[in-house]
Chain A
Amino acid sequence: MSAAGPSRGAYPVRGTSKSGARGDPAAPLLDIDRVGMTYVGGGLFRRSAVRAVDHVSLRLEAGEPEIFAVIGESGSGKTTLARMILNLATPTDGTIRFLGADVTRIRTNRDRMAFMRQVQPIFQNPFEAFNPLKRIDRYLFVSARRFAGARGRVDIEVTADKALHQVGLSLAEVKGRFPHELSGGQLQRIAIARALISAPSLIVADEPVSMVDASLRMSIVNLFKALRDELQVSIIYITHDLATAYYISDRVLIMQRGKAVESGNARAVLDNPQHPYSILLKNAVLSPDDAGRPMPPAGAAQDSSGIPVSNEE
């Protein structure tokens, strides 16, 4: 259960230490408690409700950095969940607390900045993540100014350079370039570097490598591992790829149509899934190791009642 502490409306202003300075020191890093999102559609006479996220709970402890994978297909609600954690969408029920403070209560600009300092996103499409008309170092410099407190040209550039070194690049390679001049892998690394400038305690990565070329993919995935191990950053890693989740995550949560279907230690769940949907998902994975073995015959995947179990319709 979420640790006790005075319930605050506002998020603590200075939270530079990983375990939350002004927040309750015993508070978990991220506490998602039976959170749900209902989209109401339809017109004046007929309303339809879609449960995009339905009673999902998870909890990350402060001071114990880990990679937590949220696995699901399209329509599973994983992206909606990510948006709620980042405070880009407000849950219709349940609470999300970051370091003890309710995320939806963030109102003032100062609170928002303090929150963003701690929680940063990595987006799926590296080519869309930056404005194609602007130089890419711009985002690094603004982050350095606003989050790292850098003042003056030299200070800002040094901060940006340090962050880029953490991801295996340097400011010299990146300065003055436009997004179209760089590859997907480099762009994604720069996005990670930018996110690291504020020294966040939590990074929410939404399918960060699905649009990166296969030969560049593992460097980025390994980078996330290094963020956890060397920089003590916890990562919520949203993906549909079970193999990558198996490779880097500590715990996983499998979602189907908004509901949490199975969760636990990554290796345990993925080596030996229990829930029918998890089993279905694992069996559907096409691995290079299948080469030479005949493919099973076609037939829609069904559960015992004959109803297709996939996320379709």
Chain B
Amino acid sequence: MLTIFRDLFHYNREFRIGALLTGFIVFFAALSLVSPYPPQDVYVVPPDLPPSLTYWFGTTSRGQDVFWQLTFAIRNTMLFGFAVALLSRLLSIAIGMWSGYKGGIVDRVLMSINDTFIVIPLFPLLVLFYFVMRDKMSWPLLALAMACLGWAYDARLIRSVAMSLKNREFTQQSVFSGMRTSEIVLQEHLPYVLPIVFYTTMNNMNWSIGLEVTLSVLGFTNIDTPTIGVMIYWANQHTAMVAGIWWWIFFPVLFVIILFIGLFLLAISMNEYIDPRSRLARMGGMRG
């Protein structure tokens, strides 16, 4: 496994850049562990100071150090995105592969449900969710809600892979070797599905982060916990742009863009080169 990453790092430029960007963000998020200020405290530093040597990213109108706030914000945003991606992957894989392999009535029922979820307008639904939950709204709950809404696109993708695999001869060989259905799906087919899953995980993270930022900016989440969106929300509340406190918005946006690009580059590079050495070995021996 590590050799794969090492090869990718050496020879694939997109992977190298993506890994560096994402690595930087992860490192930055890890700095939150050594933050001198608890994330939710306000007025711990003089407010509205521009970036300087003491306060690298400046301070907010609420008296928080943008640098340290950002470490928490980006950490929470990333963790949130990751949680949503993970949960929704589990759903997509399970539903997609079961539906693809079984076919028939199971497939039709699951895909009808799937298509319903694709068509549902997510944003109003999440807003409604907020209004219903109100004070009981928490990040894990929101992550769960988004995971339950975010599996549909990729389930179809995985299903089509599963369907094509079912018709391949080695699947029949597995059946006649005595493998159980669960063994076939998990051991024979999953390796084909995993490259897609990696790609969709990155995609899904980007999607969920984007949605979270949107909801937070509008105030539809728990605004006490700092995330990128919440920072921008507070900046808007204090009319930062009008007041000239540009650094309050600029740095969160910059960092979330870096995160997006890093994840995207990782996604597309891993998509193509999931296992370079075996691809190379498979290249050996020309035919004809």
Direct contact of A and B (CB under 8 A): yes
Chain A: residues with CB nearer than 8 A to chain B?
86, 88, 113, 116, 120-121, 123-125, 128-134, 139, 142-143, 145-147, 178, 180-181, 191, 194-195, 198
- A26 to B: closest C-beta gap in Å: 28
Assess the A116–B176 pair: CB atoms within 8 A: yes
Q: Does B164 contact A (CB under 8 A)?
A: no
Query: How far is A113 from B179 in the complex, measured between Cα atoms in Å?
Result: 10
A–B Cβ pairs within 8 angstroms, 26 of them: A113-B178, A120-B176, A123-B169, A123-B172, A123-B173, A128-B169, A129-B169, A129-B170, A130-B170, A130-B173, A131-B170, A131-B174, A133-B278, A139-B173, A139-B174, A139-B177, A142-B178, A143-B177, A146-B178, A146-B179, A147-B178, A178-B281, A180-B285, A181-B281, A191-B173, A195-B176
Residues of A within 8 A of B170 (CB): 128-131
Minimum-distance CB pairs A-B, first 10: A146-B178, A128-B169, A131-B170, A143-B177, A123-B169, A142-B177, A133-B191, A139-B177, A180-B282, A129-B169
Q: For residue A148, which residue of chain B has the nearest CB?
A: B178
Residues of A within 8 A of B168 (CB): 128
Contact with A along B36-55 (1 / 0, CB 8 A): 00000000000000000000
Contact with A along B162-196 (1 / 0, CB 8 A): 00000011101111111100010001100110000
Query: How far is A304 from B243 in the complex, measured between Cα atoms in Å?
Result: 96
Q: For residue B183, which residue of chain A has the nearest CB?
A: A142
Assess the A134–B188 pair: CB atoms within 8 A: yes
Assess the A133–B173 pair: CB atoms within 8 A: no
Residues of A within 8 A of B176 (CB): 86, 116, 120-121, 195
Assess the A133–B192 pair: CB atoms within 8 A: yes
Q: For residue B285, which residue of chain A has the nearest CB?
A: A180
Query: How far is A195 from B178 in the complex, measured between Cα atoms in Å?
Result: 11
Query: How far is A133 from B170 in the complex, measured between Cα atoms in Å?
Result: 11
The 8 Å CB contact of B178, one of A123, A128, A145, is A145
Residues of A within 8 A of B188 (CB): 131, 134
Q: For residue A143, which residue of chain B has the nearest CB?
A: B177
Q: For residue B189, which residue of chain A has the nearest CB?
A: A131
- A153 to B: closest C-beta gap in Å: 17
Query: How far is A128 from B173 in the complex, measured between Cα atoms in Å?
Result: 10
Interface residues on B, range: 20 to 34
Residues of B within 8 A of A142 (CB): 174, 177-179, 183
Query: How far is A293 from B52 in the complex, measured between Cα atoms in Å?
Result: 95
Residues of B within 8 A of A88 (CB): 172
Assess the A125–B169 pair: CB atoms within 8 A: yes
Query: How far is A173 from B282 in the complex, measured between Cα atoms in Å?
Result: 19
Q: For residue A119, which residue of chain B has the nearest CB?
A: B176
Query: How far is A116 from B173 in the complex, measured between Cα atoms in Å?
Result: 11
Residues of B within 8 A of A124 (CB): 169
Assess the A180–B177 pair: CB atoms within 8 A: no
Query: How far is A164 from B168 in the complex, measured between Cα atoms in Å?
Result: 24
Residues of B within 8 A of A121 (CB): 172-173, 176
Residues of A within 8 A of B187 (CB): 134
Residues of A within 8 A of B284 (CB): 180
Query: How far is A14 from B178 in the complex, measured between Cα atoms in Å?
Result: 15
Contact with A along B248-281 (1 / 0, CB 8 A): 0000000000000000000000000000001001
Instruction: A146-B178, A181-B281, A198-B178 given; name 16 further pairs at CB < 8 Å.
Output: A125-B169, A128-B168, A128-B169, A130-B170, A133-B192, A134-B187, A134-B191, A139-B173, A142-B174, A142-B177, A142-B179, A145-B178, A178-B278, A180-B281, A194-B177, A195-B176
Assess the A129–B178 pair: CB atoms within 8 A: no
- B185 to A: closest C-beta gap in Å: 13
Contact A146-B172, Cβ < 8 Å, known A132-B282, A134-B188, A180-B282: no
Contact with A along B4-34 (1 / 0, CB 8 A): 0000000000000000000000000000000
Query: How far is A124 from B173 in the complex, measured between Cα atoms in Å?
Result: 12
Query: How far is A181 from B175 in the complex, measured between Cα atoms in Å?
Result: 23
Q: For residue A197, which residue of chain B has the nearest CB?
A: B177
Residues of B within 8 A of A198 (CB): 178
Residues of B within 8 A of A132 (CB): 282
Most buried by A among B176, B179, B188, B282: B176
Assess the B281–A146 pair: CB atoms within 8 A: no
Most buried by A among B169, B187, B192: B169
Residues of B within 8 A of A147 (CB): 178
Q: For residue B192, which residue of chain A has the nearest CB?
A: A133
Residues of A within 8 A of B173 (CB): 121, 123, 129-130, 139, 191, 194
The 8 Å CB contact of A146, one of B177, B191, B278, is B177
- A98 to B: closest C-beta gap in Å: 15
Residues of A within 8 A of B281 (CB): 178, 180-181
Residues of A within 8 A of B172 (CB): 88, 121, 123
Residues of A within 8 A of B192 (CB): 133
- A39 to B: closest C-beta gap in Å: 16
Q: For residue A88, which residue of chain B has the nearest CB?
A: B172
Residues of B within 8 A of A134 (CB): 187-188, 191
- B46 to A: closest C-beta gap in Å: 60
Residues of B within 8 A of A128 (CB): 168-170
Assess the A143–B178 pair: CB atoms within 8 A: yes
- A87 to B: closest C-beta gap in Å: 10
- A142 to B: closest C-beta gap in Å: 5
Query: How far is A143 from B183 in the complex, measured between Cα atoms in Å?
Result: 13
Query: How far is A88 from B284 in the complex, measured between Cα atoms in Å?
Result: 35
